[in-house]
Chain A
């Protein structure tokens, strides 16, 4: 008999970590149904039922941050999802190995830029006076442009397209790996039958990566509501807040920012977000399971 107990000793520390840092906070969610007080803490505060939820659902903020979150998420998903697929198909069609390597390396680079630096770069480049944007606009039109960084209508475009710039190249890797395993014979046979390279992309390469595409789509759909706190918060200012306040930044502003401190209310909002997210993953996974036979579980 194998010494299983020794394997459990390996697992002990990770399990303690998991229960303490990942599962214990889930018990903390109960403060969504309580009126959190410092003295009472998580366990001793008074129950208030669904009061916090009612307050959230009827608040003016709810009707603002929910659409903001959804619009930003879907816009990002639609803009960022197809580009790596197209890019990977292009990479795969390049026959000069050196050029392929070069192009791939260049497109991977932005992935390594941190969120803080990325937003810093946006601020520098899109500065309406000293930035590249302001300078070029001025030299063409003859006057300085309006400030994009404080504009609610520009916020989403800046957020989404800078995200695309950063992630498009890196996102190709999984598809490129997939394409590398396509049987050369398939291409040769099609070529002998007179298929052009473009036809082979459509009828050989694309079908080969479709299962991966649907898995990636499930994962992306599961992240719809998880629109990153970090980047939105960094890009947010009082001028663009009407478009940039999303659920996660609102949780922070209500719960932890100076002048906040309403833990129960902030937890309600976070919980609302997590639950919707969870339901989305399950539903999309189920749809994918029936439609394309590929699923996460």
Chain B
């Protein structure tokens, strides 16, 4: 690092290079604005008054700041049910995911396991071909999992991509001599797995935990297909009803003034809802950024 900075002093930027850097830095600045602006707009709208939102006054900063939108969100009992269920699915689903992924990845990381190739093929093939929506639905129905929490936890217990990342990590970071030494000391595979493999795989466990948790938090597809009981709905499904299917329908009202007010309130609620549902996952993100990136890198080593 220091060597390259020393060299840099000898090699002055040419005018050409200066222009290059100005263009790159400027371009990235513009891209940042493009990425941020929709987010700023949503957040500002969520803190504005219903009247300002329906009159389209919000462009950058909140107008007539209020917390009305958030009050409306937290008075909505569906949102609480959704939050409760999503936290449940995220926590238990991720525990099942990580446990299943580890017990699949560990044996498959061992070079001398007979039949390993076949099992790996069975896993990888499912990335390229699957039964499809209807046969999957019939299976879940026949297993009597429709309208149970199991439909949210079990059908995607292992994401093959994450299993491959984990296997690659164990293969590259836990030397097999270690397992030989442990065996000579009389340690069996189960003890070795819990005493050595799991603690030494902390980094990759962090990575797949995050991948799985984000996926659970944001998922709506399984719930949409398999759940009809509102008490079991995850947050995303309630969000779909409110944000997209528009269960709050202002056109039902005749009085134009009241209609405008209702429309403004409905929009305000939506903006606040977007913020409330997305902020938790975005808040975790800066803290775990380096693990996420590590995960992609481990995955890319496999190629």
A120 and B110 CA atoms in complex are apart in Å by 46
Q: How far is the CB of B197 from chain A (nearest CB, A)?
A: 10
Q: Show the binding face of B for A, using Cβ within 8 Å.
A: 4, 7, 11, 14, 16-17, 20-21, 24-25, 27-29, 31-32, 34-36, 38-39, 41-42, 45, 53-54, 56, 59, 100, 103-104, 106-108, 110, 112-114, 119, 122-123, 126, 128-139, 142, 154-155, 157-158, 183, 188-190, 193, 214, 217-221, 225, 236, 239-240, 243-244, 263-264, 267, 270-271, 273-274, 277-278, 281-282, 285-286, 289, 292-293, 296-297, 300, 303
Pairwise interchain contact B113-A7, C-beta atoms closer than 8 A: yes
Q: Does A212 contact B (CB under 8 A)?
A: yes
A26 and B135 CA atoms in complex are apart in Å by 7
A115 and B296 CA atoms in complex are apart in Å by 21
Q: Contacts A6-B188, A7-B110, A116-B243: A266 and B38 contacting too (C-beta < 8 A)?
A: no
Q: Does A68 contact B (CB under 8 A)?
A: no
Q: Does A77 contact B (CB under 8 A)?
A: no
B264: which A residues are within 8 A, CB to CB? 130
A116: which B residues are within 8 A, CB to CB? 218, 220, 236, 239-240, 243-244
Pairwise interchain contact B129-A278, C-beta atoms closer than 8 A: yes
Pairwise interchain contact A25-B139, C-beta atoms closer than 8 A: yes
A101-126 to B contact mask, C-beta < 8 Å, 1/0: 01101111110111111011101110
A288 and B45 CA atoms in complex are apart in Å by 48
The answer, among A17, A95, A198, for a CB contact under 8 Å with B100, is A17
Q: Contacts A24-B139, A132-B59: A109 and B113 contacting too (C-beta < 8 A)?
A: no
The answer, among A113, A124, A173, for a CB contact under 8 Å with B267, is A124
Pairwise interchain contact A107-B267, C-beta atoms closer than 8 A: no
The answer, among B157, B183, B271, for a CB contact under 8 Å with A124, is B271
Q: Contacts A10-B106, A107-B35: A21 and B155 contacting too (C-beta < 8 A)?
A: yes
User: Who on chain B is nearest to A216 by CB?
Assistant: B300
A13: which B residues are within 8 A, CB to CB? 100, 103
A193-208 to B contact mask, C-beta < 8 Å, 1/0: 0001110000000000
